[in-house]
Amino acid sequence: MASRLLYVGLFVTLLILVGARPKPEIVDFVDPTYGSIVRQIVKADGQEHNMYVHRSPFNVDNSYLLGIRAALDHTDWRVALYTGAGVFQRNLFSVDAGWNWRITWDRLDPQILYIQDNDQSLFAYHVGNDTLTLLRQFSPYVGFVGGSEPSLNQTNTRVLVYVSESIDRVGVPQIRSYRLSDMGDEKILYPSMILPAGATIMSSGMGTPHYIGYGDHIAMAWQSADATGLLVYDEATSSTIHNFIGDSFGGGHFAFSSTGKLAYRTWNAGLYFTTYWASDYNDLEIHVVNINGTDDHVVFRASEAEAWWVQNLHLAWPATVANWFLVGFYPPAYLGLPILYVPPYDEILQVFIDGTPSRYLTRTGTKSFGPPIQGWSQPLPAPSPDGTRVSFNAVCDLDNVGSLGCTPTGTIDQYIFYIYPRRS
């Protein structure tokens, strides 16, 4: 009898210890304003978010979701694996152990993703088997440029990396791509050969050279002493398609479609860091243009007064969707609250390019922590390749203006919601 009581006591103690371990909790709620059903991955003992707006955290069939789990002080970054519905599975890679968190899913195989490490190696990782396959080990004189990541062309047949090679002790930036099947057919492009004189690649993650998901086209944001821009290059024909020049393209807040279109913004960002974002535009406009520079037109507009309570915004275009993209708005970090809730403010907006009216999908209810975590408390909506679901970030603040349904944790949480077709 005593031994049985001892066993029961140990079992109960084990349950208490296991139950006391902080773990992600699923909380579903209905957005009171726009009606979307939102799933919050609640975890109050750390900061959790996606991998930035232009990296889809969802794999090709939506069976998996990636996220970043960090300590409360935003150190100890780990890449985490969830089911496509947000159920935590396991931690995959630790940034402190030398892995680059900027990961790219395969466009066809739902089990494969591509990752770089600090030893200048490119790997394919099989999620199901938990195995790494070395694709290429670069020489000690060739290193991945900070902020860059592997990217795949539209047909999933080539992989691109952005590196710097030490030549005569001088780092020379290079864009290298390889046939994915055997890492052969190396192509090397020197940005200095195609950029304007004196221009250099911007260090922004969205600005570093990458395949845009249309053919073999590559985009790179650049800056010089007197200009900024975005150059689109076709690797298949070895030719520059267009060089977009202006402050609207230098900041990295743009998105490309799988049909060769570019969405970008023009805006003075009255409540943002105007000394950096200063421009000739006061009204907030979102444009769509062909990547060859033709047919530039406005698809969303808000006057300066209407957009006054927007500090920042990000654009994201699902990899296989042609006729719409997403906009994530972010409210001011250092000001109080407006008296009444009026969009745009903190929402995720669906913008159609065929004349269909835009629609707000959900509020995020987020607020800012301030530097250095401020950027990750922005919604940064990241859609699945097929555009059926979205991951976003938020710090739930029930003191925010209007009605919210989220659970406050005092930390950044990752969220998921589904996009349903518009009712006729």
Compare 276 and 293 and report the one with higher pLDDT: 293
Is the CA virtual torsion 251, 255, 232, 65 positive or negative? positive
For residue 134, the model assigns a pLDDT of 98
**What is the model's pLDDT at position 22?**
47
| Residue with tokens 């089990």, as numbered in its chain | 111
Q: Are 51 and 67 in contact (CB under 8 A)?
A: yes
Give the domain 23-418 fold. Answer: Methylamine Dehydrogenase; Chain H (2.130.10)
CA-closest candidate to residue 82, choices 369, 389, 368: 389
pLDDT (0 to 100) of residue 398: 86
State the chain's mean pLDDT as an integer.
Answer: 89
Q: Output the CA torsion sign for 95, 99, 104, 109.
A: negative
- Percentage of residues in the chain having pLDDT higher than 70: 88
Q: Is 396 helix (H, G, I), strand (E, B) or coil?
A: coil
Task: Please state the rounded mean pLDDT for residues 48-56.
Answer: 92
Domain ranges of the chain: 23-418
Residue 167 token pair: 């030549």
pTM of the model: 0.91
Q: Name which of 36-40, 151-155, 330-334 the model is least confident about.
A: 330-334
In the predicted model, is pLDDT for residue 18 greater than 50?
no
**pLDDT computed for residue 273 by the predictor:** 41
Residue pLDDT, tens place only, 192-238: 999 999 999 987 667 899 999 999 999 999 999 999 999 999 999 99
Residue with tokens 């209407």: 306
Taking the C-alpha atoms of residue 284 and residue 270, their distance in angstroms, rounded to an integer, is 10
When pLDDT is averaged across residues 362-374 and rounded to a whole number, the result is 79
User: What's the mean pLDDT in 311-328?
Assistant: 96
